[in-house]
A and B are shown apart, each in its own frame.
Chain A
Amino acid sequence: MREKSDSSQILNSLEKYNLDISDYLPSHSGPKLVLNFNKITTVSEVEGIILKGREIENGIIADIVIKEGTVLEDPIHLCFGVNKETGLQEIFPRIIAEDNSSVTLQAHCSFPNAKNLTHKMFGHIYVGKNCKFVYNETHYHGEQNGATVAPVSYVYVGENSYFENNFFLTQGTIGRMKIQIDIYAFKDSIINSNVKAFGKNSLDSIRVRDAVFLEGENARSIIKMKAAAIGGGEVMMFGITEGNAANTTGHVDCTEIVKDRGSRCRAIPLIRATDDSCHITHEASLGKVDSAQLNALMARGLDEDEATDLIIKNML
């Protein structure tokens, strides 16, 4: 096991959000890569994976390879954080999970002091055949609406593989966020993509594009996008599913809640097919909270605001 020492101030900021940071500490034996701005502070490999990072001017390039047949019980932890108030961070990760592997990747992006900070990520994930790949990404952007974050990911999921993507952005303020994830699904693969985001005030703007292209026979996908725009925040969710191969099925579900004057939301589920045997569906709803849910909680003594907050909190 190769390891660089040093705990990072970023880890302290994760603790502030009541997150268990023990997995990120050097003493923890699981695989991890911890970054503070453009300094790699911890790299820890285990049998079956190769983790390699190179520091560049404003960030890093990173390769993560999970070798053929590797089944990892512990998730691989990636912590990309910036403790500064201003600046630009650029991350270029390339993740390759070879055939018959099983892995969970837990990525945290933390910018606790961001006042005028930009984070860009351009990543590729390549999943081989017969794999299980779960990618969880959580973001924490401090309380000052000072972060501009733009991650872009291209994912290819090989035959008979399962890919799950969970993107959560539900603590602190958001700032400006523009997320793009494009997934190409091959024969018999299954895609399960979930995005949850929360615009808290008028300085928050979230735009998400989650696209799945079904490129192999019998490929299946479901995209679920949930968001809440409150206090004048803006949310736009763009969910795309395109069926290009035989017998593919896909579903896009966009749900957005709007609360408070000045809040704005848009949900655009887009479904397309170029093969006559595809079955692709969509549903979208946005606006105020469902009145049946509200009435149910108000009949137990909550007022409308409390009921709305509870519904949004649990939805996200």
Chain B
Amino acid sequence: MSSDVLLSVKDISILSEDRQCNIVDTISFDVMEGSIHSIIGPNGAGKSTLGYAIMGVYHPCSGKIFFKGKDITDLSITERAKRGITLAWQTPARFDGLSVYDYIGVGVKDKNLIEQRVGEALEIVNLDPDIYLKRKVDANLSGGERKRIELASVIAMRPKLVILDEAEAGMDLIVLESFMDIFNKIKELGMTILLITHREDIGMVSDNSTLIWDGKVLANGPFRDIMVLYCQKAGLKKICSRTLFNQFDECIDKIIEEDTRENKI
């Protein structure tokens, strides 16, 4: 992780559709280049709205967004994508007739590299290219498959900043661990991740976090510190600590070991 700020969000506010209230209210935070930065908060806190605003889907009513030091607040989705920002959608769209190969390759700038990048990306998300390349990005894909393909399309593009909007939504516990490996691989490829999640176990991969509550920032800082605050705010009876997270990891390991023994995996 470098010490350069890649993305800087300054006092962003976004109004609801009926303009009655702020979904996101004067939010500020910075994302360091090469890091995984998570946006944590409960359902309805405004996390996804914030992510879409950074991508350009929503326009903030006030505030600024800077990317690599340049003001991108008024740029379109396409312009932001060309500068190196992309988003993996929480509910990825399905396309009639569009092949997995074409969808994953659509963001690759150098057309000579499409085949190589698409193959690599599918392998990173643990999908067999021989099976999936010819399939269509339509209703015949399961939710999990569609999510992985969405991640693959982001990986193949090699942007500077990847916004992952609840990439883990709908995944079971066993699959989650492989997702966290994928996040780390994305980071290894030189991309910065803005991870939007309401799950503390997913947020564990992040270097820094921003805690959002009712559209406002409660805190910015290292993930562990943010988690303590989150649990306190959420009124959890357990105390979130390093001990608890270690216990969580041990529990997962135990399940995997048992299932391997019983040939379930």
Contact = CB atoms under 8 A, between A and B. Distances in A.
Most chain B CB within a 10 A radius of its CB, from A292, A298, A301: A301
Contact of A301 (B55, B57, B92, B107): B107
A217 B102 CA distance: 43
Interface in B42-91: 55, 57, 76-78, 81-82, 86-87, 89, 91
B98 A302 contact: no
Interface string A294-313: 01111111111000001100
B2 to A, nearest CB: 24
A46 interface: no
A171 to B, nearest CB: 15
Interface in B94-135: 95-99, 102, 106-107, 109
B97 A299 contact: no
A56 interface: no
B93 interface: yes
22 contacts: A226-B96, A290-B93, A292-B89, A295-B57, A296-B92, A298-B76, A298-B77, A298-B78, A299-B55, A299-B77, A300-B157, A301-B81, A301-B106, A301-B107, A301-B157, A302-B81, A302-B106, A303-B78, A304-B78, A314-B96, A314-B99, A316-B97
A185 to B, nearest CB: 25
Contacts of B91: 292
A226 B138 CA distance: 15
B89 A296 contact: yes
Interface in B119-166: 153, 157
Contacts of A293: 93, 95
A21 interface: no
Interface of A: 226, 255, 290, 292-293, 295-304, 310-311, 314-316
A312 B98 CA distance: 10
A311 B78 contact: no
Most chain A CB within a 10 A radius of its CB, from B86, B106, B107, B153: B106
B153 to A, nearest CB: 7
Contacts of B78: 298, 301-304
A301 B81 CA distance: 5
Most chain B CB within a 10 A radius of its CB, from A255, A292, A298: A298
Nearest to A311: B95
A314 B93 contact: no
A177 to B, nearest CB: 21
Contacts of A255: 96
Contacts of B98: 310-311, 314
A182 B169 CA distance: 46
Most chain B CB within a 10 A radius of its CB, from A290, A296, A297: A296
A314 B102 contact: yes
Contacts of B102: 310, 314
B81 A315 contact: no
Contacts of A295: 57, 77, 89, 93
A228 to B, nearest CB: 12
Contacts of A296: 89, 92-93
Most chain A CB within a 10 A radius of its CB, from B55, B89, B91, B93: B93
A26 to B, nearest CB: 34
Given A299-B81, A301-B86, A314-B96, 13 more contacts: A290-B93, A292-B93, A295-B77, A296-B92, A298-B76, A300-B81, A300-B106, A301-B82, A301-B109, A301-B157, A302-B78, A302-B81, A315-B97
Nearest to A290: B93
B107 A314 contact: no
Contacts of B57: 295
Nearest to B156: A300
A93 to B, nearest CB: 29
A10 to B, nearest CB: 28
B97 A297 contact: no
B96 A299 contact: no
Contact of B95 (A226, A304, A314): A314
Contacts of B97: 314-316
B82 to A, nearest CB: 5
Contacts of B81: 298-302
B5 to A, nearest CB: 22
